[in-house]
Amino acid sequence: MNNTEKALKFAKTSSDKPKIIVIYWPTWAGKTDMSIDIAKALDTEIISTDSRQIFKEMDIWTGKITPEETKWVPHHMLDIVSPDEEYSVWEFKRQAEKIMWDLYAQDKIPMLVGWTGLYIDSIIYEFDIPELPADWELREKLEKQRLEKWNEWLHKELEKIDPEYAAELHPNNYRYVIRAIEVKKLTWKSKTEFRQDKKLKYDVLFLTPYHGDREWLYDRINRRVLMFEDMWVFDEVKKLYEKYWEEAFWMKSIGYQEIIPYLKWEISKQQAIEDIQKNSRHYAKRQITWFKKYTQNEKN
C-alpha cells in the first residue's frame, strides 16, 4: 500500500479524535511531491512545519514550494515574517491551530508537512507552551556573553540549569538556548515540564517519503546542494546579507551561514559548498533521531 492509499484509508476510518496527517523526514527527502499528491487525493490543504520557510525572501535554500505548485494545493505558514523578526513556537502553534480548525469546519483533514520537529510536536502533543513576555535585559546580557564566549559556552550554561532540555538543542540554535534559559529563570520550570506526557491530541497518520538508509539521504543532500549552486542561490544570500547584515537570526541557518564567510572573502566558494553539505548531513542525522518517535507510531 503506497502513502496515498494509506491516507485515503485513514480518511475513511472512524475516530473519536480529530484527524491529522503528518508528513515528516529530514530536509530534501522528497516530502513536497508526496504531500501534493496526497492533498490532491484528499482535497485538503497543507500547513508547512518548516521553521525557515516561514520567512520571506528565503526561497532557494529552504526549498520553498513555488507559486506554480501552490496553485494545485493551498499552502499555509509560508512567507509570514521578515528574516529580521523574532518568531516563537508559541506563535506558530497559535496560527497553525487556527488554520487547522478552519479546515475541520470544511470537513478537511489538515496536513502538516515539514522537518521542524519542535513545530510538529507543538501541534500534535499536549504541549502547554508558556506565553511569557520577553525579558530583554536578560536576553541582551546572554547575547553579549555569547558573542564573547560563543555558542558552546551558552549551551553549557543551559546544561547547568536544564540538562534535559539542553540535550535536545544544538549549541548553534542559540536563540532557542537563550529562550530556554529565560523560561527556566522566569518560571523555575524546564521547557520539558510544559509538555504533558507526550500524549497525542489527535488521531495522527505519520507518513514519510522514504525510509532509505542514511547514505542514500546524505548522497541526496550532497547532490541537492550542488544543484542549488546553479539557481542563483549565492545571489539570494548576498541580497539578504546586504539588506539585513548579521542581525537576522535565520541568516545563521544552514545554507546561509556558510555563504556569509564567502561573501566576506574569508573562504572559497568550494569551501562554502562543502560546509553546507557537511552541516546539512549532520543536521539530517539529528532530525532522524528526533523523528524516531514518529516512526514508532506509523500505521501500517
For 212-225, the pLDDT digits (tens) are 678 888 888 888 88
Q: Let me know whether 95 and 172 are in one domain.
A: no
Q: Let me know whether 205 and 93 are in one domain.
A: yes
Q: Let me know whether 116 and 153 are in one domain.
A: no
Per-residue 3-state assignment (H helix, E strand, C coil) for 161-195: HCHHHHCCCCCCCHHHHHHHHHHHHHHCCCHHHHE
pLDDT per position as a tens digit, 39-97: 999 999 999 999 889 999 888 878 888 887 788 899 999 999 988 887 888 889 999 99
Alpha-carbon distance of 11 to 19, in angstroms, equals 8
CA nearest neighbour of 127 among 51, 197, 203, 202: 197
Q: Which cell goes with 22?
A: 503528518
Q: Let me know whether 141 and 38 are in one domain.
A: no
Q: Look up the CATH number of the domain holding residue 222.
A: 1.10.287.890
If DSSP codes are grouped into helix, strand and coil, which group holds residue 160? helix
Per-residue 3-state assignment (H helix, E strand, C coil) for 226-276: HHHCCCCHHHHHHHHHHHHCCCCHHHHCCCCCCHHHHHCCCCCHHHHHHHH
What confidence score (pLDDT) does residue 256 get? 85
Q: Let me know whether 19 and 100 are in one domain.
A: yes
What confidence score (pLDDT) does residue 9 get? 96
Q: Let me know whether 103 and 203 are in one domain.
A: yes
Q: Look up the CATH number of the domain holding residue 49.
A: 3.40.50.300
Distances, alpha carbon 156 to alpha carbons 145, 181, 220, 256, in Å: 12, 11, 33, 25
What confidence score (pLDDT) does residue 117 get? 85
- pTM metric for this prediction: 0.77
Domain that includes residue 223, residue range: 214-286
What confidence score (pLDDT) does residue 298 get? 62
Distances, alpha carbon 100 to alpha carbons 123, 200, 203, 258, in Å: 10, 16, 14, 36
What confidence score (pLDDT) does residue 198 get? 66
Q: Let me know whether 223 and 79 are in one domain.
A: no
Q: Let me know whether 39 and 113 are in one domain.
A: yes
Residue 259 Cα to chain centre, angstroms = 20
**Low-confidence spans in the chain with pLDDT less than 50:** none
If DSSP codes are grouped into helix, strand and coil, which group holds residue 28? coil
115 burial level (CB within 10 Å; 0-12, 13-18, 19+):
buried
Q: Let me know whether 23 and 37 are in one domain.
A: yes
Number of domains composing the chain: 3
Alpha-carbon distance of 228 to 60, in angstroms, equals 7
Residue with cell 469546519: 105
